[in-house]
Amino acid sequence: MKNFFSKLGSYLSSVGDEAKKVSWPGRRELVDSSVVVIVFIVILSVTTLVYDTGIRKFIDVAVPSSAPAAQQAQGAR
């Protein structure tokens, strides 16, 4: 058990040393990167919406819904 805590302490010390070496982005770079990510997400969302709507319309045309026929069958009973 003592060996475990010794290794854990050594590991955490190494993590701290590596964290000090990290080059953190400045405020401007962080904002620019965030804007790029948000714009990409919006573009991807709109693209997915367009494809989803197109596929749904294609399926509606290719496979007619049987809902009206089912309602008429229930009304006739």
User: Per-residue confidence of the chain (77 residues) as pLDDT tens digits?
Assistant: 778 989 999 999 999 999 999 998 999 999 999 999 999 999 999 999 999 999 999 998 898 876 655 556 566 55
Q: Where are the domains of the chain?
A: 26-62
CA distances from 49 to 7, 39, 59 (A): 51, 15, 15
**CA–CA distance, 77 with 71 (Å, rounded to integer):** 10
25 Cβ contact partners less than 8 Å away, ≥ 6 residues apart = 33
> Beta-carbon neighbour count of residue 32 at 10 Å?
12
SS3 state of residue 1: coil
Q: What is the pTM of this model?
A: 0.56
